[in-house]
């Protein structure tokens, strides 16, 4: 599959890029799993996910933990648009660094 490189400023912010990077190979993940994997605060992750939802790069859903328990778990999934945007951004980053010489 060929990807057209395109730098996307809206996902270049570190936490947005980290979240999309984590979600890209997955069917989805629970909010708490993302939070633990990336070591983000509840508020920071919530705000970042809200931004990604507004950009239509991820979706969220809430599921009840059980009939007796009223708590709900939030899961996060990357959308097709989010995956495409992420892939384009990674391709652009690869192009950007392809010619760079690393110090020995």
pLDDT for res 42: 94
Single pTM value for the model: 0.86
Q: Structural domain boundaries of the chain?
A: 9-94
Fold classification of 9-94 is Arc Repressor Mutant, subunit A (1.10.10)
- Would you give per-residue pLDDT tens digits along the chain (104 residues)? 678 889 999 999 999 999 999 999 999 999 999 999 999 999 999 999 999 999 999 999 987 766 666 677 899 999 999 999 999 999 999 988 887 776 76
Q: What is the DSSP letter of 66?
A: -
CA distance 46 to 31: 9
Helix (H) or strand (E) holding 75: strand 72-78
| CA–CA distances in Å: residue 39 to residues 6, 19, 31, 33, 74 | 28, 11, 12, 10, 17
pLDDT score, position 3: 83
Q: How far is Cα 50 from Cα 38, in angstroms, rounded to an integer?
A: 16
CA distances 75 to 2, 30, 32, 64, 102, Å, are 30, 4, 9, 11, 39
């Amino acid at each position: 599959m060929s990807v057209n490189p395109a730098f996307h400023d809206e996902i270049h912010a570190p936490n947005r890029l980290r979240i999309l990077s984590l979600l890209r190979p997955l069917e989805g993940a629970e909010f708490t799993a993302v939070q633990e994997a990336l070591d983000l605060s509840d508020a920071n992750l919530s705000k970042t996910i809200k931004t990604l939802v507004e950009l239509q790069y991820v979706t969220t859903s809430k599921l009840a933990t059980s009939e007796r328990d009223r708590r709900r778990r939030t899961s996060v999934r990357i959308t097709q648009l989010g995956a495409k945007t992420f892939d384009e951004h990674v391709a652009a980053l690869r192009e950007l660094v392809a010619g760079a010489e690393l110090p020995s």
